[in-house]
Amino acid sequence: MPMGVVMSSRQKKRVAQSGCETPEYGINTSKLGRNGSGGVATARLAQVISRSSNACQTAWVRGGRRPAGMTPQRTLSRTVSCSGIGLHSGRKVTLRIKPAPADHGIRFRRLDLNGLEVPAEADRISSLSYATALTQDAASVGTVEHLLAAFVGLGVDNATVELNAAEVPIMDGSAASFVYLVHEAGVKTLSAARRFLKVARPIVLSKGDKRIAVYPSDHFKVTYSISFDHPLLRHQSRTQQITEDSFAEEIAPARTFGFLKEVEQMRQKGLALGGSLDNAIVLGETGVLNNTLRFEDEFVRHKILDVIGDLALVGHPIIGHVVAHRAGHALHAGFAQKILQESDAWHLVDAPLAPAPEEAAVPETVTGTQPVKT
């Protein structure tokens, strides 16, 4: 398992029972866990986490050579699928991720609405109530952030995501299932260059005591801090440089969380209808109700996962240091739109600078909009 993950005997049993569907190499979660939550993908993630993503890439399509200084766009090598439950709708959904050509971007396709598509773009944001939803014309798709984070974290630029309902399945509440799917599919390079959004000057957005900013840096890094009126969550902070390995091992397995006292109120609003102890960390008055934490600071790691997914709506991988304090989906989404509006604060480049040595993730206090360090 990824570092810090604790496997229960039931999870080990699920690993033994698990297998890929053919011919699409999907995960059949309908028989695994209550509500088909997809915990098996997290358990099996250790089997693929050490694979180099480059091992699945095809040769450069133009004579096997890549132009100097250019990073190619990538897509999946084959179609993969999974099924699970919508966190808020409570409905079963089947999701299929298909390869797509260069410059296609990420697009959601609603098979139950005659193939209507919704692009993963900031101007398609339609709802931000405990999750991020996108809408175009008569089609909407909700809870997109964990899947989008997996695409960003693993360097997938182009894909078509087909689903037969209005919400991406929650799986086990993390992005581990989607990391597993991408690793099972493999990735291949395409002929077009990947364009990175390199931050040239700070961009800041705040609302009350909630803040988010991005600062110039030579790589993509996130510092996030949270605080809640709860014994386990008085304050947590983490800084994480995002690479394919660090995302898969340190961020993707972190699950969504909620408070028991808020569950009934959410359900009265038609939310969290598919929530269960299998797909979320549930906090009672004094501690975690359902299971062992995968990381001591799993809560703030999940917030890093959320902001990576929400900022995917910018449409380009970011080269910069994102610093957030108690931000949440609404501020993340507003910040994605603000980044695009402040076009004088960044420029597009075909390749990042040579990667700096990966920095250790050090918990740090973030009380303002100044970067902790760059």
Tokens representing 218 are 């030579």
Q: Which helix (H) or strand (E) holds 14?
A: helix 9-17
Is omega for the bond preceding 317 within 30 degrees of 0, making it cis? no
Residues 6+ apart with CB under 8 A from 139: 108, 110, 113, 116, 117, 118
Residues 6+ apart with CB under 8 A from 168: 86, 93, 95, 141, 142, 143, 144, 146, 147, 161
Domain boundaries, the chain: 70-350
- CA 55 – CA 53 distance, rounded (Å): 5
- CA 152 – CA 264 distance, rounded (Å): 34
The catalytic site residues sit at 329
Predicted local confidence at residue 273, as pLDDT:
60
Phi, psi of 339 (to 5 degrees): -55, -45
Contact 170, 160 (CB under 8 A): no
70-350, which class in CATH? alpha beta
179-198: b (≥16 Cβ within 10 Å) or e: bbbbbbbbbbbbebbbbbbb
Which candidate, 8, 15, 2, places its Cα nearest to that of 49? 2
- Full pLDDT tens readout for the chain, 374 residues: 333 333 344 433 333 333 333 333 344 333 333 333 344 344 344 444 333 333 333 333 333 455 556 899 999 999 999 999 987 677 899 999 999 999 999 999 999 999 999 999 999 999 776 789 999 999 999 999 999 999 999 999 999 999 999 999 999 999 999 999 999 999 999 999 999 999 999 999 999 999 999 999 999 999 999 988 777 777 999 999 999 999 999 999 999 987 666 666 665 666 656 566 677 888 877 777 776 899 999 999 999 999 999 999 999 999 999 999 999 999 999 999 999 999 999 999 997 755 444 443 433 434 443 444 43
Written as one letter, the residue type at 271 is L
- CA 58 – CA 188 distance, rounded (Å): 5
Residues 6+ apart with CB under 8 A from 42: 1, 5, 11, 171, 172, 174, 176, 177, 180, 253
List residues bridging with 167 in a β-sheet: 142
Predicted local confidence at residue 325, as pLDDT:
97
- CA 266 – CA 273 distance, rounded (Å): 8
Predicted local confidence at residue 233, as pLDDT:
75
Question: What sign does the dihedral 265-267-269-272 (CA atoms) show?
Answer: positive
Q: What's the pTM? A: 0.78
Class of residue 171 by CB neighbours under 10 A (exposed 0-12, middle 13-18, buried 19+): buried
Predicted local confidence at residue 260, as pLDDT:
65
